[in-house]
A = this chain, B = another copy of it.
Amino acid sequence: MIARTLISDPADPRLDDVRDLNHSDSRPDLPGGKGLVVAEGPLVVGRLLESRFPVRAIVGFKNKLDSFFATIDPALVEDIAVYEVTRDVLAEVAGFDMHRGLLATADRVEETPVSQVLENARTVVVLEGVGDHENIGSMFRNAAGMGVDAILFGNGCADPLYRRVVRVSMGNVLRLPFAHLEGTYTTWQRSLDQLKEAGFYLVSLTPDPGAEHLEDALAGKEKVALLVGAEGPGLTEHAMRATDVRARIPMAPGTDSLNLATSAAIAFYERDRSQR
């Protein structure tokens, strides 16, 4: 039986990690931000426990804790505080009704250096200007599912450890290596040289009908970095110029471009297929 502490006073400071939850995941430099990693629901809480992030606390309703603990190795939670709360208490602390009823918080850890992330990687994604949390979360889910080794962030991307990203990624942001490339809007592209030196073939994903078919662009490549820009503006010309090829997914004439994470998933599929 895993020990737990019942807390019935919403003001109890031991619940501060999940207080005002819409802010506690923001970076510490933002108003109200504590920079915590917040996992919700049994699948993602389980992945947080197995991740590199040091878990601080688990908070949940009695029945949710019961069923979650029945499925995990007790050694995983040996030194972690476990707080049992009612739905009403958690709603008051978190600031909204958390019907999932199971949460865990962790500290951030220092980011793995880019060079280390690239070490044994054969396929990586590089994002530029992707500010949408849902797109970043889906990207991690698809990348993890389809054998991509890491995600690198160029300039102007949203925080991958934001609570919504963690949730949409189904916890894959806690498992798949990621790192940030240095530089501003007009200079970050230079850090792509690191990838070239590591032997990566750089591929820009673009809706441009004049670009190469994805199949041709990826054929016979040993190590590939796929560059993806924001939905709408896409990659900057600066970024595309720094790559070896511009590749497109064929689209029916007069239609809209695909969702960002969907386009990337198709590229992940083609990358895998090109290696069959």
Contact = CB atoms under 8 A, between A and B. Distances in A.
A92 B270 CA distance: 49
A269 B256 contact: no
Interface residues of A, number: 29
A142 interface: yes
Interface in A67-119: none
B270 A269 contact: yes
A7 to B, nearest CB: 32
Contacts of A172: 255-256
A141 B256 contact: yes
A6 interface: no
Contacts of A142: 258-259, 262
Nearest to A258: B145
A166 to B, nearest CB: 14
A257 B146 CA distance: 10
Interface string A247-276: 001111001111101100110011011001
A138 interface: yes
A259 B141 contact: yes
A268 to B, nearest CB: 9
A147 interface: yes
Contact of A252 (B144, B249, B273): B144
Contacts of A257: 145
20 contacts: A138-B262, A141-B256, A141-B259, A144-B255, A144-B256, A145-B252, A145-B256, A145-B258, A146-B249, A146-B251, A146-B258, A170-B256, A213-B276, A215-B273, A262-B262, A262-B265, A266-B266, A266-B269, A269-B269, A269-B270
